[in-house]
Amino acid sequence: MKLVLAIIQDADASALMRALTDHAFEVTKLASTGGFLREGNTTLMIGVSDERLDELRRHVGQTCRTRSRLVAPSVPMGEQGESLISEPIEVPVGGAVLFVLGVQEFIRV
Ligand code: 2BA
Ligand code: 2BA
């Protein structure tokens, strides 16, 4: 068994939860925050058998889109203290970041 931590965008969370539960995956949803954008995102914990890992990956790939976000860089200061205004930069986010961890035990009490 594996525990998949899937970090996805909030906009994809409902569709992915639906797709996974429709296909009998068990899922737990956590609210999370990205360290770089400091914006909310969604982390799904999915305990899955090794045999179904590829299928899970396929659902995630089909559901989670890559989107671009414009980020204003912090304003650097010149030598005389004047600000050097720079253009916002485009940052791609997603489709999804997956961590796949081995599960030592799955216990229901
Ligand atoms: P954020 O940390 O808010 O990052 C959003 C997007 O900003 C990232 O998209 C990446 O394209 C870009 N980015 C992140 N750090 C950067 C940096 N130091 N310089 C330039 N660009 C940077 P994704 O890679 O698709 O990541 C989406 C979210 O997944 C991240 O949100 C974070 O919450 C999580 N994540 C990604 N890699 C992670 C890791 N190694 N460990 C833990 N969480 C991770
Ligand atoms: P839920 O997903 O809201 O599931 C609540 C209960 O509904 C489950 O209790 C189970 O008895 C039943 N259930 C879930 N999926 C089902 C399905 N496809 N068909 C029929 N019945 C289903 P528990 O098994 O005690 O799970 C309690 C909570 O623990 C779950 O809430 C979920 O948040 C988490 N969880 C359980 N197994 C998980 C796994 N493999 N991966 C991630 N989270 C899991």
Tell me, yes or no, whether 58 lies in a domain.
Answer: yes
> Into how many domains does the chain fold?
1
Q: Please report whether residue 61 resides in a domain.
A: yes
Indicate whether 31 belongs to any domain.
yes
Decide whether any atom of ligand 2 lies within 6 Å of the 15 Cβ: no
CATH code of the domain in which 14 resides: 3.30.70.120
Least distant ligand from the CA of 43: 1
> pLDDT by residue (tens digit) across 96-106?
999 999 999 99
The atom of ligand 2 lying closest to the CA of 108 is 25
Q: What 3-state DSSP class applies to 32? A: strand
Q: Which two tokens stand for residue 93?
A: 């986010």
| Residue 48: inside a domain | yes
Whole-structure pTM over 0.85, yes or no?
Answer: yes
Express each pLDDT in 9-39 by its tens digit: 999 999 999 999 999 999 999 999 999 999 9
pLDDT digits (tens, 9 = 90+) for 58-91: 999 999 999 998 988 765 666 666 666 678 889 9
What is the DSSP annotation of 71-102? EPPP--B-TTS-B-----EEEEE-SEEEEEEE
Residues spanned by the domain of 23: 2-67+94-102
Atom of ligand 1 nearest to the CA of 92: 11
User: How far apart, in whole angstroms, are the C-alpha atoms of residue 40 and residue 19?
Assistant: 21
How many alpha carbons fall within 13 Å on the CB side of residue 27? 22
